[in-house]
Chain A
Amino acid sequence: MKVREVIEKLELEVITATHPGKEVRGGYSGDLLSNVMAKAGKGDLWLTIQGHQNVVAVALLTGVAAVIIVENLEVEKEAIQKAEEKGVNLLRSKLSAYQLGGRLYQMGIR
């Protein structure tokens, strides 16, 4: 499944989507960046409450397909700029990480 399909199916808000054709392979949910660094893998959708620019750095390093900021939380301007610059897909959902994770799992992203 592509990032673009996930955006459509879950009505995600697109903050930046420079690479909507990226393939989604799985998912990871977490807000402690060291944990995410160690556990998130290439092609994952990363669900988090963190909306600052270090999230973009971690997204690049882990190679996740997209970052989804949950609960409609604020995303810092610097994070958006950096995501655009580095080509990181940055999305947002009004759902909690728990709810969104459940929906993704139902969609077959496991």
Chain B
Amino acid sequence: MKEKYILEKRIEKGDFNKGGEASSKLKDLLRKLGVDSAVIRKTAIVTYELEMNIIIHSEGGWIRAAISREGIQIFAADDGPGIADLEKAFQPGYSTASDQVREMGFGAGLGLVNIKNYSDELKVDTKTGVGTKIRAIIHLV
């Protein structure tokens, strides 16, 4: 079945100026829909990290969100370069971010950790040289 997205947003590589726009927009949408505030908080954290990861680490990509019976689904898809060592990437404190990015308070090796901790279901597909696709689900109850 084709998903009907409530949010679909292109995220450009290195576009820190717009960091947080997709997650803010999703947060506003969910608030208008009357979604529970704890669910919104989890969704905002996960979406923000996914969005920033595209900005910091990828060649650009998309953030999409849908609501289904399972909950709020957030999809992140980027144009590469893929995550070379997925196991390491999930270790708190591990990051491949540049010093410049770290000085801004990013790249602390906590992004994927937050994504994992605040989503109820998580699927990561990554291929070096191709890209990464992530689906995170936050249950409504």
Residues of A within 8 A of B (CB): 31-38, 42, 48, 50, 52-54, 56-58, 60-62, 78
Contact = CB atoms under 8 A, between A and B. Distances in A.
A93 B24 CA distance: 27
A34 B104 contact: no
Interface string B93-131: 000000000001110101101100110000000000000
B24 A50 contact: no
Contacts of B48: 37, 57-58, 61
A90 B23 CA distance: 21
Interface residues of B, number: 24
28 contacts: A33-B104, A33-B105, A33-B108, A34-B106, A34-B108, A35-B108, A36-B105, A37-B45, A37-B49, A37-B114, A38-B110, A38-B114, A50-B105, A52-B16, A53-B17, A54-B16, A54-B19, A57-B20, A57-B23, A57-B24, A58-B20, A61-B20, A61-B23, A61-B27, A61-B44, A61-B45, A62-B44, A78-B17
B20 A38 contact: no
Interface of B: 16-17, 19-21, 23-24, 27, 37, 44-45, 48-49, 52, 104-106, 108, 110-111, 113-114, 117-118
Contacts of B17: 53, 78
Nearest to A30: B105
Residue with the highest number of chain B CB atoms closer than 10 Å, among A48, A60, A78:
A60
Contacts of B37: 42
What is the interface of chain A mostly: helix, strand, loop, or mixed? helix
A35 B114 CA distance: 8
B111 A34 contact: yes
Residue with the highest number of chain B CB atoms closer than 10 Å, among A31, A34, A52:
A34
Contacts of B27: 60-61
B44 A34 contact: no
B110 A32 contact: yes
Contacts of A35: 108, 110
Contacts of A50: 104-105
A52 B106 CA distance: 12
Contacts of A53: 16-17
Nearest to A82: B17
Given A38-B118, A61-B48, A32 B105 contact: yes
B19 to A, nearest CB: 5
